[in-house]
Every structure is written in C-alpha cells, then in structure tokens.
Amino acid sequence: MLSIHEVTKRRGSREILSGLSFEARPGRVTAFLGPNGAGKTSTLRILLGLDTATSGTALIDGVPFARLADPVRKVGAVLEGSGAHRSRTGRAHLRWVAAAGGVPRARVDEVLELVGLADDSRRRVRSYSLGMGRRLGLAAALLGDPDVLVLDEPVNGLDPEGIRWIRTFLRDRAASGRTVLLSSHFLGEVAATVDDVVVIDRGRIVAQGSLSEVVGDHGSIENAYFALTGGAR
C-alpha cells in the first residue's frame, strides 16, 4: 500500500502541498489527477524519496522509500522520459540499471519483450520516438518485477495500439494484486483504466474515492475533473 498522510511541502514562503492524505491500495489502479502545477509531481517525488516533505509522511508498505530493504523489487517508477543516456542503446541502458539494482541480466530480455522493444533494443536511445522512450522507461521500472508501479503520464507519446496495450498491462498488474498509481491528463483513458481517483488542485485534494464516487452526478470523469478544478489553467 502507498500511504500519503498530511503531507505539506513549502519552498520559501510558498506552500506547494497542503496537508495531502490519500492511499493507493493493492489490487487497484489509482489515478492522481490535477492541472499542471497542482503538485502531482512534487507528491510523487516525495513518495519516491527524491524530495522531502516539510511535514507529514509518505510511506510504502509502512516505511519511507529510503528505508526499503530492496527498493528495486518493491517499487518501479517512471517520472519523466526514460532517464537513459541518449548515446546508449536501449539494451545497454537496461543492463546498466539491472546491474545497479542487483537484477539478473536475463531479466533485461524479458522486459524488452514485455514492453515491445525487443526488435529495437540495439538502437541508440537518441533515435527513439517519445513513445519508445516511454516504453524503455517502463521496462526499467519493471526490471525488479516490483509490487508497486508509480507512473507519471504513462500513455503520453504512445500510439493507439500502445495505449490499449498499457491499459491491459496495468489492469493485469492490479489483477495480480499489485499496486498501480498513475498521473495522467488523458481523462478518457483514465475512465477506461482506473479503479480509484484522487484529484488535486493548488496543492490540496479536492476529491478522492472510487471512479464512480468521484464522477457522481457529473456524468463523466471529464465533467467531474473540470468542475472540481475550475478547468484547465
């Protein structure tokens, strides 16, 4: 389980996050929605130990990320792009990540096949499209076969086939008892993929619950989102 409890983040006099509390549970896909600048990325960075909260806790199975005994097998994350050096091949990048995390090299071929990059694994990362870079980032996140996936805009840059593939993939992960937390601006895809929704605006949670609870009488997740956040800004 991912648990965010009363997380506040300040930078100087500016409050980025204000008392955020929510959970992402095993066996479910949870969407984390909000306009640009609402605080989504800041929250995910705190959860993954890349930034610190001013107050509050962000826990993975009851402990902060920094105290996980085997983080590569507990959490896989994709925040921005693939994180790969552009002069490396996709395969070389994954082998480097696997070695750093103590993951057997054989797992590299497994994840390349899983994300559909096996035929392009020997190409330089600089030649990859945005969608291929997304797939490479996901492959790196999956190396340790983690219990938890944290994904920032996972369908950005993917073609329709890729979007369908990742929808099925995330649903299968949840069905196997894993926890999936994703942020996305693709609201129609969110409606087809997720179980639970957390909506953040200006650093505060404005709604959370099951997809049906958040949609309520709005008729669609798009209508609910724009009503809750005042529309795109």
| Encoded tokens for 1 | 């389980």
Q: Would you state the torsion angle of the CA atoms of residues 164, 200, 210, 162, taken in this order, to the nearest 10 degrees?
A: 0
3-state secondary structure of 72: helix
Looking at the chain, the number of H-run helices and the number of E-run strands are 9, 9
Amino acid in the structure at residue 192: A
Amino acid in the structure at residue 171: R
pLDDT of residue 233: 46
Amino acid in the structure at residue 13: S
| Encoded tokens for 226 | 């724009």
Place of tokens 């404005």: 206
Domains, the chain, ranges and CATH? 2-61+147-229 (3.40.50.300)
pLDDT of residue 221: 94
Helix (H) or strand (E) holding 90: helix 90-101
**Mean pLDDT for back-to-back runs of 10 residues, the chain (233 residues):** 96 95 97 93 95 97 94 91 81 95 95 95 93 91 96 87 90 96 90 95 96 94 92 54
CA distance 63 to 75: 12
Helix (H) or strand (E) holding 222: helix 221-229
| Encoded tokens for 54 | 């001013």
CA distances from residue 71 to 32, 101, 145 in whole angstroms, order as listed: 22, 8, 11
Give the model confidence (pLDDT) of 44-102 as tens digits.
999 999 999 999 999 999 999 999 999 999 999 998 755 788 899 999 999 999 999 99
pLDDT of residue 156: 83
Kindly report the number of other CB atoms within 10 A of residue 117's CB atom. Answer: 20
CA distance 218 to 139: 37
Mean per-residue pLDDT over the chain, rounded:
93
